[in-house]
């Protein structure tokens, strides 16, 4: 048994041309894309605001420190984000951030000169619970009061009884509620925006999947039988299902994730530098290592993924082939050899899977290590800056949160990149199929645009017809014959003589390479495809019924009345067995109609053809699967319905065509004999030999 090799690409890196073609399917859904992007922007902004709100809560509520300075040096202090100044007594109190940028030596000199307090203080408002605060101030001379403000050393505040401390810090409760509400609203906004983004990106992915699948399906079914016969059914089904689903993931999981992750990373860096550029440099210094590691991981992941997909394809093909042909394996006692071969391929798949896991096992822990290292460096650097009064505790906490936000997208980089590769590979395969155009022209060159009649009498003329499926390996060689309207002509011959090929040429599934075929004196290529296939309908050798009811399989798109349905069924003697079924014409058929016998399926296919009322009917080995008794019933129905119609009967069972008006005998692609049954028997030629082989008891 030959091994199956999938010649399609297993994976592909980013391809801008394929990406543009995939993105072109967004055009009908621009509004959805805009809403998704807007929701993405809101979600990202909310996530970046969260650490800032936490930082302000910590600095303005939990750790609220002020330093008293002499009014003479206030204007010389550097400006900060919080430049609030409160005059209480002989001092002007400023936030800790105003002392940033002053060296430790300079600060000690200012303290020694009495220009800056050595210890921090807490400034509180007298607008709330004024009387209670004044009572507390009387007990503690260290508390200094002004008209609207009061100040208390932080060390004294920390030593106060809890009830007194709560009164002093009463104003902080309102501020805490404000920040808590702000944080809640932001988180609710992030939740709503994330839901909206997820909803619309999935909508886009689902709708694009529907559009691409419909486009690809319409494209495939319009291709010629010559092309479709060269394509494995499994490959076409994979393009229409799995590959398009992977492209859908490009919109739902890859595109939005890449945009959000990139925005989060850039936004986190910007916020870090805004909060404190010195500490931001600590994070930025580790970025090159991450970028280098990501580039290496991307290449390794691509190679590992390519190898894993290759061996997965090999194993799946092996399983499909050998399970389908399990009877041959058992007939020739090949179980052991097949199992050994499968074991070798399965071992290669195991190695490929381990190699892919190795990439994850190396890259993700490295990112975790770098994230932890960067956090540690930020804590150490932040502690130094905090001791120098250059940053606050809230800023340090915000830095830790932002570092986690910066590294989180990087952890998913390899996974998203593999999804991107899959989308590119699937896009390449799908677009490769879409770019293939092997359709038969609706009308042949030179005949296009010419009007063809809307009805035909049924006159068929083949003149010097040559045809080959491949190159010049001719199946038909200089075939010429005429079938008159209403005539019943049989075509017989040994296997491979070209009988079924003539049926396919008359239905224009292929076009002849030499010679011509005329219907009612008009070249067959002048008729549009849909019209010629309505006029001429073959009954193929292999009966195919669709899942659905018997009624749907006979009508096949026609709006048939019950009377018409029963009429065509009775004509082919199918009505009796259909009526005997529990649901009659509404009986559901399984896949391929396997819950019916071969003969019953053949009768339904006859009824289907007759229901469409073609002018010419071609029975291609139509009675090969029917028992003798059913064949007799079928022949009666066919003889009655075909009276006055042109018909061509292709058969190996010569007993079914004895009443044909004329029999054409093919041999090695040529017409070797023509005549009636009796005339050909009398000649004792090819037909007589065929008939003698099928009737060995012939006198």
Quick one: which of 367, 175, 188, 207 has its CA closest to 290?
Answer: 367
pTM equals 0.73
- Return the pLDDT at 305: 73
Domains (range + CATH), the chain: 64-168 (no CATH), 460-694 (3.40.50.300)
What does the pLDDT look like over 62-91, one tens digit per residue? 777 888 898 888 888 776 666 678 888 888
CB 654 within 8 Å of CB 694: yes
CB 171 within 8 Å of CB 127: yes
For 507-535, what is the mean pLDDT? 87
Picking from 10, 121, 16, the residue whose alpha carbon sits closest to that of residue 64 is 121
Question: What whole-number distance in Å separates Cα of residue 351 and Cα of residue 638?
Answer: 62
> pLDDT tier at 190 (50, 70, 90 boundaries)?
very high
Parallel, antiparallel, or unpaired: how do β-strands 588-589 and 616-620 relate?
Answer: unpaired
Mean pLDDT calculated for residue range 550-566:
88
Q: How far apart are CA 350 and CA 415, in angstroms?
A: 19
* Phi–psi pair at 673, nearest 5 degrees: -150, 150
Please give the average per-residue pLDDT across 450-461, as a whole number. 80
β-pairing verdict for 66-69 and 91-95: antiparallel
What pLDDT does residue 627 have? 61
What confidence category does residue 692 fall into, taking pLDDT thresholds of 50, 70 and 90? Answer: confident
Predicted confidence (pLDDT) per residue in 324-337, tens digit: 788 888 878 888 88
Q: Over 50: is that where the pLDDT of 698 sits? A: no
Q: What is the mean pLDDT of residues 250-257?
A: 86
- Count CB atoms within 10 A of the CB of residue 481: 17
pLDDT digits (tens, 9 = 90+) for 348-379: 889 888 887 887 788 778 888 888 888 888 88
d(C-alpha 185, C-alpha 698), whole Å: 97
- Quick one: pLDDT at residue 460? 92
Mean pLDDT within 139-152: 88
Q: Report, as an integer, the average pLDDT of 179-204.
A: 93
Lowest mean pLDDT of 35-44, 182-191, 302-311, 526-535, name the range: 302-311
331, with CB counted inside 10 A (0-12, 13-18, 19+), is exposed
Gap between the Cα atoms of 619 and 657, Å rounded: 11
**Of residues 240 and 2, which shows the higher confidence score?**
240
- Which residues does 376 contact at the CB level (< 8 Å), separation at least 6? none
Contacts 24+ apart (CB under 8 A), 215-222: 215/434, 216/240, 216/244, 216/430, 216/433, 216/434, 219/433, 219/434, 220/433, 222/439
Q: Please state the φ and ψ torsions of residue 490, each to the nearest 5 degrees.
A: -105, 145
Radius of gyration, CA atoms only, the chain: 42
**Residue with token string 């009655």:** 640
Q: How confident is residue 385, by pLDDT bands cut at 50, 70 and 90?
A: confident
Q: Tell me the per-residue pLDDT of 104-125, one tens digit each, with 9 for 90 and over.
A: 788 888 888 888 888 889 998 8
């Amino acid at each position: 048994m030959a091994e199956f090799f999938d010649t399609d690409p297993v994976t592909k890196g980013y391809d801008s041309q394929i990406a543009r073609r995939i993105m072109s399917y967004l055009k009908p859904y621009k509004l959805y894309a805009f809403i998704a992007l807007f929701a993405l922007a809101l979600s990202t902004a909310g996530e970046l605001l969260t650490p800032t709100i936490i930082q302000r809560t910590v600095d303005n509520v939990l750790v609220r420190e002020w330093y008293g300075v002499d009014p003479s040096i206030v204007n010389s202090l550097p400006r900060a984000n919080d430049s609030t100044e409160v005059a209480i007594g002989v001092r002007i109190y400023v936030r800790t951030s105003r002392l940033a940028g002053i060296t430790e030596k300079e600060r000690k000199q200012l303290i020694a000169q009495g220009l800056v307090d050595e210890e921090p203080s807490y400034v509180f408002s007298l607008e709330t619970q004024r009387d209670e605060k004044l009572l507390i101030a009387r007990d503690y001379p260290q508390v200094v009061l002004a008209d609207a403000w009061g100040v208390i050393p932080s060390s004294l505040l920390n030593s106060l009884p809890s009830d007194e401390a709560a009164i002093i810090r009463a104003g902080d409760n309102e501020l805490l509620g404000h920040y808590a509400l702000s944080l809640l609203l932001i988180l609710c906004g992030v939740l709503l925006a994330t839901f909206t983004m997820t909803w619309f990106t999935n909508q886009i992915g689902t709708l694009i999947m529907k559009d691409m699948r419909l486009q690809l399906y319409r494209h495939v079914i319009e291709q010629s039988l010559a092309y479709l016969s060269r394509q494995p059914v499994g490959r076409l089904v994979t393009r229409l299902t799995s590959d398009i689903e992977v492209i859908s993931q490009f919109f739902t999981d890859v595109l939005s994730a890449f945009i959000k992750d990139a925005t989060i990373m850039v936004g986190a860096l910007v916020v870090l530098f805004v909060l404190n550029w010195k500490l931001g440099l600590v994070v930025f210094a580790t970025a090159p290592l991450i970028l280098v590691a990501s580039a290496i991981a991307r290449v390794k992941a691509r190679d590992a993924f390519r190898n894993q997909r290759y061996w997965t394809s090999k194993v799946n093909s092996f399983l499909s082939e050998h399970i389908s042909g399990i009877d041959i394996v058992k007939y020739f006692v090949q179980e052991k050899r097949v199992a050994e071969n499968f074991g070798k391929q399965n071992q290669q798949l195991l190695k490929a899977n381990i190699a892919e896991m190795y990439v994850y096992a190396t890259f993700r822990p490295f990112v975790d290590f770098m994230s932890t290292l960067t956090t540690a460096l930020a804590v150490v650097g932040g502690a130094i800056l905090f001791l120098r009064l250059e940053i606050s505790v809230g800023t340090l906490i915000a830095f830790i949160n932002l570092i986690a936000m910066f590294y989180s997208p990087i952890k998913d980089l390899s996974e998203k990149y593999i999804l991107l590769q899959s989308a590119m590979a699937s896009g390449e395969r799908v677009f490769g199929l879409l770019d293939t155009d092997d359709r038969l022209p609706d009308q042949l060159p030179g005949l296009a645009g010419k009007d063809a009649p809307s009805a035909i009498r049924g006159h068929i003329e083949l003149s010097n017809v040559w045809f080959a499926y491949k190159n010049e390996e001719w199946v038909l060689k200089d075939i010429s014959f005429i079938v008159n309207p209403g005539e019943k002509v049989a075509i017989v011959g040994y296997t491979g003589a070209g009988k079924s090929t003539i049926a396919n040429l008359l239905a224009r599934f292929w076009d002849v390479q030499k010679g011509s075929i005329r219907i009612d004196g008009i070249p067959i290529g002048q008729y549009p495809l849909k019209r010629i296939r309505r006029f001429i309908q073959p009954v193929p050798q292999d009966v195919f019924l669709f899942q659905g009811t018997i009624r749907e399989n006979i009508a096949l798109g026609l709006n048939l009345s019950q009377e018409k349905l029963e009429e065509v069924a009775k004509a082919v003697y199918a009505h009796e067995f259909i009526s005997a079924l529990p649901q009659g014409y509404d009986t559901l058929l399984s896949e391929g109609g396997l819950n019916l016998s071969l003969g019953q399926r053949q009768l339904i296919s006859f009824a289907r053809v007759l229901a469409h009322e073609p002018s010419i009917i071609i029975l291609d080995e139509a009675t090969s699967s029917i028992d003798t008794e059913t064949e007799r019933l079928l022949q009666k129905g066919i003889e009655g319905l075909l009276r006055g119609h042109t018909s061509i009967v292709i058969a190996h069972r010569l007993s079914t065509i004895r009443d044909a008006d004329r029999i054409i005998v093919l041999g090695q692609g040529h017409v070797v004999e023509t005549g009636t049954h009796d005339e050909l028997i009398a000649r004792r030629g090819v037909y007589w030999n065929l008939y003698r082989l099928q009737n060995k008891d012939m006198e």
